[in-house]
Amino acid sequence: MFVQLPSRRKPGPPWATLLIVAACMVVFVWLATLPAAQRLAVLTRWGTVPATLLDANAPWLQQLTELRAARLVSAIFIHADWLHLTGNLLFLIVFGVSAERTLGSARFLALFVLGGALANLVGAFTLAGTSAPIIGSSGAVSAVVGAYLALFPRARLGLVLPLGVFLEFVRIPAPLLIGFWAALQLLFTYVGPAFGAVAWWTHVGGFLIGIAFALMSKPAVARRLRG
Q: Which pLDDT does position 94 carry in this prediction? A: 86
Specify the DSSP element, H or E, that contains 158: strand 156-163
Q: What is the pLDDT of residue 178?
A: 80
Instruction: Calculate mean pLDDT across residues 130-154.
Output: 92
pLDDT score of 18 more than 90: yes
Neighbouring-strand partners of residue 131: none
Q: Which of 209, 142, 155, 140 is nearest to 181 (CA)?
A: 142
pLDDT tens-digit series, residues 143-182: 999 999 999 888 887 666 666 666 666 777 878 878 877 7
Q: What is the pLDDT at residue 167?
A: 67
pLDDT digits (tens, 9 = 90+) for 43-75: 999 999 999 888 878 777 777 777 888 999 999
Whether the per-residue pLDDT at 5 is higher than 60: the answer is no
Residue 213: its pLDDT value, please?
96
Whole-angstrom Cα distance, residue 78 to residue 76?
A: 6
Structure confidence at residue 212 (pLDDT): 96
Share of the chain above pLDDT 70, in %: 82
- pLDDT at position 159: 64
What is the model's pTM?
0.85
Residue 158, CA distances (Å) to 19, 86, 129, 143 in order: 25, 19, 42, 21
Q: Which amino acid is at 37?
A: A
Distance between CA 21 and CA 5 in Å, rounded? Answer: 20
Tell me the mean pLDDT in the region 118-142.
91
Give the residue from 167, 147, 163, 143 showing the smallest Cα distance to 155.
147
Domains and CATH numbers, the chain: 12-226 (1.20.1540.10)
> In the predicted model, is pLDDT for residue 192 greater than 70?
no
